[in-house]
Amino acid sequence: MSEIKLPMQKVKATTQSPKNLIIFSKPKVGKSSLLAELDNCLLIDLENGSDYLDAVKIKASSVEEIKQIGKQIKEAGNPYDYIALDTITALEDICIPYAEVLYAKKPMGKSWFKQKADGTLDPSSGKVQYGNILNLPNGAGYSYLREAMTKVIEFVKTLAPRIILIGHIKDVLLEKAGADFTSSDLDLTGKMKRIVTSQSDAIGYLYRKGNKNFLSFTTSDSISCGARPAHLRNKEILISEMTDKGFKTYWDEVYID
């Protein structure tokens, strides 16, 4: 074990740009089109929504396919600077079967996939009784979904220096000072949202105004977002626009180093 030396003065930052970025918006605002213009970014399409898009892209519909893609990326020497999961909202659904596998490996879940002699599921198996791990009593299945998603996201983080998670928006009804109002938030289930967002460096809300798209990192009562990097913190940046010469993006406003 090497000797530990305590710092006696400020240690300079090693990076300025977000390693883990979340972008969420309403449907059809242009999240995928924006990512398609980011140089050397692999778009992993989890919603089968990239057919009309020219991009460095590949589709996946299961955790196993994501693992196979990751295996090929590593065998190729990790050639991408960015990998984007489109969308993390879809990833939550994709991870349910994986969560059931994780649960089945635990003592309490040993009968989840219990089979009859002919190889079919026994009527007494948890899978037959509940159909879906999220239907377990008292919400017990959600912890395994969180474990499954965390494992997949951590795996994806090993594939490129910078990861982008794309999400849909969810309207949440809140109360403040006796009045109800709607807050826009990342569409993920309960604690999973807190885990994913706490591990991100920046959370941006993408919205369109005329022929321009803006990425907001400004936290407010109505939008839940923010950023650690100083150049993004509480900022709202023009990220793309349609010009006379075509679609133009400004990713260098986000990734400055």
pLDDT: is 189 or 116 the higher one? 116
Q: What percent of the chain has pLDDT over 70?
A: 88
d(CA 105, CA 108): 8
Task: Scan for tokens 């059931």, then name that residue.
Answer: 100
Sequence-ordered list of residues with C-beta below 8 angstroms from that of 116, at least 6 positions apart, any chain: 122
Take residue 254 and report the two structure tokens written for it: 């986000």
Q: What is the mean pLDDT of residues 138-155?
A: 91
Phi and psi torsions of 139, nearest 5°: 65, 25
212-253 residue pLDDT tens: 999 988 876 545 667 888 899 889 999 999 888 888 999 999
Take residue 127 and report the two structure tokens written for it: 């899978």
Highest mean pLDDT pick, 43-57, 72-86, 243-257: 72-86
What is the predicted pLDDT for the residue at 190?
65
164-211 residue pLDDT tens: 998 887 644 333 343 333 335 566 666 777 777 777 888 888 888 888
